[in-house]
Amino acid sequence: MELGCLAPSMLTTDAANTVIELRDIINLNFDSTGGLMKMSLKKFAVGLVIVAVLGAVGAWLTKPVLAHRSDLINAEIEVTMKEFGFDLKIVKSDGAAELKDNVLNLKVGKIVRFKIKNGGTTRHDFHLGNTADTASELYKNNPFEPYDMLELDVGSKTDLTLTIPDKAGDYEMGCFQAGHYAAGMKRPIKIVK
């Protein structure tokens, strides 16, 4: 393969390798042997993929990135699921979220992001509300509707961003995997004005 004045031994970085790839695409397009033409098409395909990726990145950059507007979030709470309970840690708050003893206080109208991780050894779920109905595996009163629930496999995590509804009162987060709620997998929440 003709590399011209670029000796491969001198090129160690990814950027340098990329230069060779692009040179190969150009050089090999002029070769007439079957084998090299095959490689040429392969390299050409790689080139097309690179162009497609760059195009996609460009399109993405021109769109509003609402998911990354973390300045709109009033509070961030790390929730770690385990057997059997929820460990809470407030990592950011402008007063929208507060831990008072065991109770998570959340302020009406504020935007709160729960960063939920299953740090346990079995599947857990995350429900919000009050008046638990363990047979139906739900809270009869869920002020966060249409948010329903989410389930996390061992080791997985997700973010859940909610606006705290204007429904002051006592609620909780709970897990309704078989036997978990009865084993104490719940944590009190108070929505305050």
Residues that bind Cu ion (CB under 5 A): 124, 175, 177, 180, 185
Task: Copy the structure tokens of residue 164.
Answer: 């705290």
Which residue, 107 or 124, is less far from Cu ion as judged by CB? 124
Cβ at position 137, least distance to Cu ion in Å: 11
Cβ at position 128, least distance to Cu ion in Å: 14
Which residue, 24 or 139, is less far from Cu ion as judged by CB? 139
Cβ at position 185, least distance to Cu ion in Å: 5
Task: Copy the structure tokens of residue 28.
Answer: 């090999």
| Secondary structure, 3-state, 100-159 | ECCEEEEECCCEEEEEEEECCCCCEEEEEEEEEECCCCEEEECCCCCCCEEEECCCCEEE
Cβ at position 188, least distance to Cu ion in Å: 16
Which residue, 124 or 127, is less far from Cu ion as judged by CB? 124
Residue nearest to Cu ion (CB): 175
Taking a C-beta distance cutoff of 8 angstroms, is the pair 107, 192 a contact? yes
Taking a C-beta distance cutoff of 8 angstroms, is the pair 164, 177 a contact? no
The CA angle 49-51-57, to the nearest 5 degrees, is: 100
Which residue, 24 or 172, is less far from Cu ion as judged by CB? 172
